Chains A and B, each alone.
Chain A
Amino acid sequence: MFAHAYTILAAVVVVFLLAKTLRLSTELSMLASTVAGGVWHVFAWPGSGLRIFVPDNSLLRHIVEGMFTYFDVCLIFISATFFMTLVKESGGVAFIVRRIVKTFRTRRVVCLLLLTLVMLIPGALTGSGATAVLTVGALVGTVLSAMGVDDTRRTAAIFMTAAMSAAAPPINLWAMMAAAGANLPYVGFNGPLVVLSVAGAVFSMFWLAGGGKTADEEEAMKNLPMPPEGINGIRVAAPFVFLAALLLAGRVWPFDFPVIGLPMIFALSSLVVILCSGVRLKVWEILTRTVRNLLPLVGIMVVVGALIQILALSGVRGLISLKVVILPLSTLFATLFVILPVSEGILQYAVAPLLGVPLIMLFNMKGMDAIVALSAMSVLWPLGDCLPPTAVVGRAAVMELDFRGRYFGDFVKACLVPMAFVALCCTLFLIYSKQLSFLAF
């Protein structure tokens, strides 16, 4: 069984690399390796009675079934990003950013804190750093520029705060996916995630954009888009208040309030944005654009589900899990801050169920606090979103801010110190998870 699982693992890796060298996208390369691993398993393990097409015990059933694993997460992802895009298109983001600049331009600290908050919200609600970059990144970048932050540092600041926003609660997709796989309730993560992601975001923003001149209001205002006429604080706030009300209602009156679920909460809040918008929103155009922007991320979640199912079917998931749970803890503490971001760069969200679940099991066995430990891992993962081959958020930041410098030599290098800070905090949270368990309320 060991030899079989190693062979399938090798087939999956080789086909993935081969597909990448043939310039296939990460998602399609992963799909190709899923199919290859599955087909190999069917022929190499006849004892299971699996066939490829015959609809009794077929490989195709496993591949299609796996695609459903993160279906609800995909719905959350699309609806939440649609909501944030509508807020942006209605001029809400421009309104908020202009208001911040106008009110706090002479107080750099307050200004930076509020900009960090603006960066954190979209990712916190959607679980996606790319969404944070695409909805508010450019506008916050414009303000940073007016505050005298150079191109490299502001691009790095946008990436780092976006990465931290993806990690911020209530939606942290890595934690959600790993917790679901380990039968661990996704409850109690808010505390440790808030501490780590906010500390990471604030440190990054101040390290990268702390120095410089007072914001040049005129320059900032000139470069920021004009919000539509008639927009006001109430109109901008209404959808967020509605969203918060629905989220709270389900918790405060759980037995007198229908079960709406996150995707519908975002969909209904989107309706409120449309109703409150001062401008006529091209809803269909915005929805199709949202779906297009999300294609790689939704695609990877659908394909990852299929891959995980084939790995589980063929014993590879068990092999990886086994090899992880027999590692000494000290080795893990000393290496996870590198392993997790690098694996995120390669596999994206797939790392959460693949590495996260066995690690949770290990942490449980060793008497650590699984919630605090998984939270720490879930803040380390998004750091890898600027690393190849995927580099989804890093590429988005570079594109959105029209960064002209060198990707590694300038942009990634500028991120290194904030990354080291986050890595240090997370490693400490891992080591002292038990002592920090009070955060998981």
Chain B
Amino acid sequence: MKLVKFLCAGFLAAGIVLTGPGLTAQATDFIVVQSTTSTQNSGLFDAILPEFEEKTGIDVRVVAVGTGQALKNAANGDGDVLLVHAKPAELTFVADGFGVERLDVMYNDFVIVGPADDPAGIKGMTDAPAAMKQIAGAEAVFASRGDDSGTHKKELALWTEAGIDPADASGTWYRETGSGMGATLNLAAGKGAYTMSDRATWLAFNNKGNLAILAEGDDRLFNQYGIILVNPDRHPSVKAGLGQKFIDWLTGPDGQKAIASFKIGGEQLFFPNARGSTTN
């Protein structure tokens, strides 16, 4: 009997701790947005979400993971809205019935960064696949995300265009970190490696060390972000109404303006390009 009492007391105590403020405060309306690390690490969400939350009273809860994981989580119904940057994968997501519709939101571009002394000699190049071919030729260390993220997918597409299969070199000059952009930049800074980053994360990143932008300006480095409402027919738990409100705001004039006004050190990180938007 003592054991039973002991167990009861334990669960009672657990109940008391559980009912503390942090664990149960869920009174407000909220949506879960599955998004990518670049939007969080750059500080974009911290900058623009308060305006939306104040206007609508809807709390936006951002889960920032790689695009691959975000797509998977959203396909499981663990989120109401998806905001990522891998258009082919996004279109497949919608075609498979997991999402309602895909809309453009904003864009920026990728840059190839590397050690300032540039052992592969790519500085100033504007042909991204050619620059990567040169890195491979010099067998200079290249840090790849290796995590099926939007950035990783883009990097692999560039390798294909360069006619190189870096998988053969994995573990030698080609290092797959299997982690986020920030962690990969930390590794590149520590090892003096080349890597490809979205410009937003790069600009906001505060441990650049000896790294510098070496190649940029190729059209193929274009980085488009899209937003999708997770299909409520597939997952009834999806808060379609609230999610749609957020999508309407972000792709509407107010949201687009908020995106455009987000700057770090005077530089704009994301360029709104939702159709029908009035700001650029």
Partners in one complex: no
